[in-house]
Amino acid sequence: MAVLSGFISKEEIEAGEEIEMTPMVFAKGLADSGFWGDKLFGRIMVEDLEVGQGFQRKACRARAIYGLEPVFESGRTGVIKIRNLIAFGGRSENTLMERNYDITIQECKIQNSSREYCKIFAAEARAIPAFGPVPEIIPVYLIYRPANNVPYATMEEDLPGQFERFCGRERDGSLAPASASEVGHKCTAFQHWLYQWTNGNLLVTDLEGVGWKVTNVRIVTRTKGYQGLKDSCCPALLEHFAASHRCNRYCELLALKSLETPQPPAKAKGSRSPISNRKAPSAQASPQLQKKGLASPQPLRKGSVSPKSARRCPEVTESQPPARPKAGDNGKASRTQ
């Protein structure tokens, strides 16, 4: 593990620094895996070196000077974040820089894709008058700082006020109890909604912010690489959520299904496509297969009593017991008569 040092230099504090900022765009909604939009070239001035008390990320506050409109107007503050601890295999500076880049890309992917899911959740929630306000996950932007020792980071809107953790994890990695506030209950409903929407493949585990604006999103997936998310696989945490979640009022307003009984693995569900689901019952009820499985009508006519013998011997037919006679017996009786 490497603790990143030199995150902000003295020169950057005094004179500011040139940066490149790139937004992640989802032009086709969740059908799109996301791509990078047009770059913005601007200058920022770092103001506060330490923002927040998070262990996962190192953060500082910066003020936009020019060039970042319309994302950050001149004079507006934002927060620059970078993963505090980076695991890397080699000792070379290039290896550390590559890991810095890969991790920052994943951070952008996680929060911005969660934001897209939250937009759909909000659209459904707003259709219910009794639901009320809906939390909003704020976007994060990829920034590149050529003159910095740690060149890649994310930048996002500055949220003034006291941060509250709505959903999160304990230090041992298990899910922590959600906040008892209205926002906390609605974030829990969003967790439930997303779990159900993705058929148990994706879960938002960490949501915190100020008021109705949410950031510092973390997720887990059932399989590695789901939707391009490489380092978030933890199926046990998904099962834990399904077993421990208790629906609240907002889950009920959204008519979400209860998760008290753990869902079967999504892989088993997804192994059958809707087409194969339709084929399976039709194969069992296929008229052709039924004809092959049953005895042919022709042998049935040969083995049964012929209509001619039935007309010739009515008294024998009436004297038979209720059980159906065997074909061989009928044949002998017919010849005797």
Numbers of helices and strands, H then E, in the chain: 12, 14
Q: Summarize pLDDT for 59-94 with one digit per residue, the tens.
A: 899 999 999 999 999 999 999 998 765 555 555 556
Return the exposure string of 296-309: e unless at least 16 CB atoms fall within 10 Å of the residue's CB, then b: eeeeeeeeebeeeb
Confidence of residue 301 (pLDDT cuts 50, 70, 90): very low
Question: Model's pTM, two decimal places?
Answer: 0.71
Summarize pLDDT for 102-150 with one digit per residue, the tens: 999 999 999 999 999 999 999 999 999 999 999 999 999 999 999 888 8
Burial 134-145 (b: 16+ CB within 10 A, else e): bbbbbbbbbbbb
Q: How far apart are the first and last CA of the chain?
A: 101
Domains and CATH numbers, the chain: 1-127+140-158 (3.30.200.20), 159-270 (3.20.200.10)
- pLDDT at site 122: 97
Residue, of 289 and 13, whose pLDDT is higher: 13
CB of 25 closer than 8 Å to CB of 15 = no
* 291 — pLDDT class (breaks 50, 70, 90): very low
Chain-wide mean pLDDT for the chain? 77
pLDDT for 333 equals 40
Q: Which spans in the chain are helix H? A: 10-15, 93-126, 182-197, 235-244, 249-253, 266-270, 274-284, 287-293, 297-303, 307-312, 314-319, 327-336
pLDDT in tens, 215-270: 999 999 999 888 878 778 888 999 999 999 999 999 999 999 998 654 455 554 44
Residue 300: pLDDT above 90?
Answer: no
